[in-house]
């Protein structure tokens, strides 16, 4: 799984790097400002999408683990 909002992080990086920063503190301040100005709805949608992806991965993992368990000879004794 890719980190949540990878595309959004890329956009954030692009916005913060438009101008050079004299030190790390000003860079951090700019990042915080840009992050705080992001739409709450946008962040909610990213979280919802991430939850769906995690659910899909868990289902796939469950399906493959139960499938491999059925192939295991010890499975018939369970």
- Reported as a pLDDT band with limits 50, 70 and 90, residue 25 is very high
Residue boundaries of the structural domains of the chain: 6-77
- Reported as a pLDDT band with limits 50, 70 and 90, residue 77 is very low
- Whole-model pTM: value is 0.47
Mention every residue, 6+ apart, whose C-beta is less than 8 A from residue 4: 46, 47, 50
> Token pair for residue 67?
């499938």
């Amino acid at each position: 799984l890719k980190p949540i909002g990878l595309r959004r992080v890329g956009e954030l990086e692009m916005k913060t790097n438009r101008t050079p920063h004299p030190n790390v503190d000003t860079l951090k301040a700019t990042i915080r400002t840009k992050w705080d100005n992001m739409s709450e709805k946008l962040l909610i949608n990213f979280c919802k999408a991430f939850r769906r992806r995690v659910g899909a991965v868990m289902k796939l993992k469950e399906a493959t683990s139960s499938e491999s368990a059925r192939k295991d000879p010890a499975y018939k004794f369970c």
